Every structure is written in structure tokens, then in C-alpha cells.
Amino acid sequence: MFQSTSPFLLFDFFRVPYECRDVRSDAHVPGAIGFLYSYADGPRLFWSIAPCSPSTDLSPDAYTVANVRLFGTVVPDVALEDRLAQLGGTWRRDIAIRDGRGNTAGSIWRRADGSVFLPFDPDEIINTYLSERYKTLGRRAPLVRLEGLARASYYRLRPMLPRSAQMRFRRSFSKVQAKVPFPAWPTETALHDFYRLLFSFVAEIAGEPVPTLAPWPRNFKWAVVLTHDVEGAEGSKNLLQLLEVERQRGYRSSWNFVPENKASADEGLIAELRQGGFEVGVHGLVHDGRDIASHRTFKSRLPRIHQYAERWQASGFRSPATLRSWELMPLLGFDYDSSYSDTAPYEPQPGGCCSWLPYMINDLVELPITLPQDHTLFEILGHVDAGVWLQKAHFLRDQGGMALILTHPDYIGNERLLSSYVKVLDEFADDETAWRVLPRDISAWWRRRAATTLRRVEGEWKLDGPASDEAAVAFVGA
């Protein structure tokens, strides 16, 4: 349906059919500009893939366009005039792009034939969200390093601090974290707003609804995924209580254990869980915050982590305290990871990927945590009921997203936590639109979906690939 001069991340993610051929030289388009089109003589969507002048000093920053927040490199209007002239036709400024002070930093341009020019690279914007690189924009590198050092120091000292002191520190620090304006909590829509903005331009170029593969198989409209991290003896003791709550309501869940904490990783219990149809995952190595603190510790610990994964037949990983590294996570060697959150300003490593759908980090499937963590919600922020969980879960259902929840049996001595968890399970136990499956099933589906393509045959869309019998076609711009 489409031709593109380079791989287009939006289309790859949503499985929009397109061919990739670099025809810029044939079309007399400068090399610093990418484009796609639906018909050879029809309108095109152009975008900048490099600064348009060697003398243009550009750095990624935060911007707003059409009420959509984006992070990346925006080429100012003055630097685009020559390139737009080379593309031919009459161009006009269509939508202003504003910087953090509200000043015009650039524009989305429109040509008389309906073509659109984006003064940024859409792939860069998307990857900046998913990788959390937005956190470093406009900040000095020494400050970023200092935060990492402070976090590492805290985890070295934490075993020596009484729990009451740990909680006082976390609650006090949460007031500082609450002042960070992005990402919003408990719901941040920026990345998906950006997807919608791009699709609005693509639908214009196509002149018809754009076919995609729906995120979930068959008739499911959203997904519900239950996960738990078992950190110590208290968690092992309380595990069966949570397990029974789930069994009574027809759910199955994933349990992540700390391999070299014997109070967490009881081999008999792990075997019993697996035999009962539950999933077992690896929760770091010793829960000291150092698994991915550096390349050295990562490299030294990874072989032992793999040994436990093989013993437990575990395909999933979650980093202790959800500490994570965009560079190191793909090197884990697991089928999937679930250490990122869509929005998590109150966690030890604050941030969020802003996605409520799975995505790939190289060959690793990432399953973001999309409901606030139990410990944060009830222990740090002091909520007393399931209100936030239910509000976010209903939002995700409306958006067709994935409601992935993380709870800790270590903390269910807090009655508010357990009663709230039961309310969430009860709320959706009979929801036939919800795909209630294990994380490994979501990961396997996401890989099948990524290997499935759409093609038009005699005016109808057909599916080719491993998900062809279960995937559904969805249209954007219909």
C-alpha cells in the first residue's frame, strides 16, 4: 500500500503494509529527507532525518505540536527553506511547533498537493519515549551521573537501614518526585497521542483508512496480565494467599523469584507453581540493585542468572526495583523483560516508556508495567482503596491497551492492598473482551504478530504469517 525510503517505525509497530525502497535520488529528494507515499503521483509525507545544514546547531529538546508533547530534534523553519524549495511546489506553514517557553521553534509544512513535511524524524521521537531518553534532555551530564551514583549508594546502604528509615526516606523523596511534570501519573498519553498525530497525516496521504494489525488476537479488545515479585521470606509465606484469590476467580499469574535469596526462591514452591499452570520468572540475582549497575557486574552475574532461568524454565525477567538500562536489557538473553513502566515517577529509577502496549528492544519483547506498583500506591503514597487501579484499568480497556499489574506478596499484610487487589480481579473476571493470559503468552503473541504481514488481494486484506489464523485487521482513519 505504501512505499517508504527507509524503515518506518510507526508502520513496523502497527504492522502497516509497506515496501522500503530508497528512491530519493530518482525522485530528486535530498538525502537528509525521508518520505513515504501511497500513490506515485499522489501526496507524500516527508520528514527530516538529519540537520539540513552543517552549520545548523541542533540538539534534542522538548516541544509541543497540536497539543501533543514530543521530544527530539526539530529543524527550525529558516533551515528548511532551501530544502523545501528543492522539493518543488508551494509550501506553507501549517502547524506551529513550540518549545518549552511557548515560542515557535519550527513548523509542520503543507504543500498545495496535500503533501506534508515534518521537521523531525518520527523514529527518533518514538525511540526517545520508549528508551526514556527524554529524561536527559536539557540536563547536564554530571547531574544525571550524580543521580545514578546516589541511587547506587542507597542500595548499598539499604540492607543496613531499618525498614522504618527506608520508608521515611521514600515518602519524603516522593514529594520531590511529584514535582516532575513528565510523565504524568497515573496516566501519560504523550506517545500514543503522537502515534495518532502521525496516523492522521498518513491517512490523508493514503486517501483511505489505513490497515493495521490489532494489538490482540481474535475478538479480544485488551489484555489483563498479573505478575508478582517475591522478595523474601514474608513473600513466600503470603504467596499461597494471593494464589488462592486468583484461582477462585479463574486467573493465572507470573511469579518472579530472587534466585540467590533462599527465603524467596523455594524450589519446591516454584515447581508447584509451574505444575499448577502458573509462570515463574527471574527477579534479578540477589535484589541488591547491582545487576545492571555497570557492565562489569552485569557481565559477571548474567551466567548465574541464566543457570536459574534454565532450571526454572523461565522465559521472563524483571529487574529488582525495576532498575533498567536501554543498552543492557537486550543483552539479558530472555524472551521478554518487564522492568519498564508506562509512567513511574515515584519509583527508585523514575521515568516511564509511555507505552501501554508491548514493544521490542532489539530482539527482546518488553512488557511494560501499566498499573501503579502496589508498594508505591499504598505504602509510599498512602492510598486506601482500589480507586487508582480501577480508574487506570478502565482507561486501558477503553484504549485497547495492556493492564499489567505488579504486586508483592511481601506487602499483603497491608489489608488495603489485598482488598484492592481482589476488587480489581472481581471487576474484570467476567469481561469477555479481556485477554487474561500469562506474560509469556503475551510475548509469544507479540512475536507472532511481528512476523505477520498484510497484503491486499482483489480489494481485500489478507494475512500472511504465524498469526494469520488469530490476528484481526483494524483500520485507522476509518
> What band does 57 get if pLDDT is binned at 50, 70 and 90?
low
Q: What is the pLDDT of residue 160?
A: 61
Cα dihedral 290, 295, 299, 304, rounded to 10, equals 20
DSSP state of 209: P
pLDDT at 144 over 90: no
pLDDT tens per residue, range 265-292: 899 999 999 999 999 999 999 988 889 9
| 125 vs 146: CA distance, rounded Å | 26
Under 8 Å CB-to-CB from 442, ≥6 apart: which residues? 223, 225, 336, 358, 365, 367, 402
Residue 24, pLDDT > 90, answer no
**pLDDT tens by residue, 193-215:** 999 999 999 999 999 999 999 99
Bigger pLDDT: 332 vs 53: 332
Residue 473 has pLDDT above 50, yes or no: yes
Cα angle 143-148-152, degrees, rounded to a multiple of 5: 145
Q: Is 66 left (phi over 0), alpha (psi -120 to 50) or beta?
A: left
pLDDT score recorded for residue 346: 93
* Residue-range domains of the chain with CATH: 2-130 (no CATH), 222-447 (3.20.20.370)
Q: HEC profile for 251-286? A: CCCEEEECCCCCCCCCHHHHHHHHHCCCEEEECCCC
What does the pLDDT read at residue 145?
Answer: 55
Q: What percent of the chain has pLDDT over 70?
A: 91
Does residue 51 have a pLDDT over 60? no
Give helix 233-248 / helix 415-428 axis angle, nearest 10°: 30
pLDDT tens for residues 114-124?
999 999 999 99
User: Which of 168-172, 186-190, 400-404 is least confident?
Assistant: 168-172
Indicate the range of 5-19, 43-57, 183-197, 433-447 predicted with least confidence: 43-57
Statement: residue 55 has pLDDT above 50: no
pTM: 0.93
Give dist(CA 80, CA 212) in Å, integer: 32
Q: pLDDT digit string (tens) for 355-365?
A: 999 999 999 99
Phi, psi for residue 64 in degrees, rounded to 5: -135, 135
- pLDDT-derived band at 151, boundaries 50, 70, 90: low
Residue pointed to by grid coordinates 502497527: 14
The alpha carbon torsion through 380, 323, 396, 208 (nearest 10 deg) reads 150
Give me the pLDDT at residue 147, please.
56
For 443, phi then psi, to 5°, come to -60, -45
- CA–CA distance, 445 with 215 (Å, rounded to integer): 9
From the list 60, 113, 123, the residue with the least C-alpha distance to 88 is 113
Q: Are 329 and 339 in contact (CB under 8 A)?
A: yes
In the chain, what is the straight-line distance between the N-terminal and C-terminal CA atoms, in Å?
16
Residues making up the chain, counted from first to last: 478
Query: What is the pLDDT, as a whole number, of residue 169?
Result: 65
* More confident call, 212 vs 478: 212
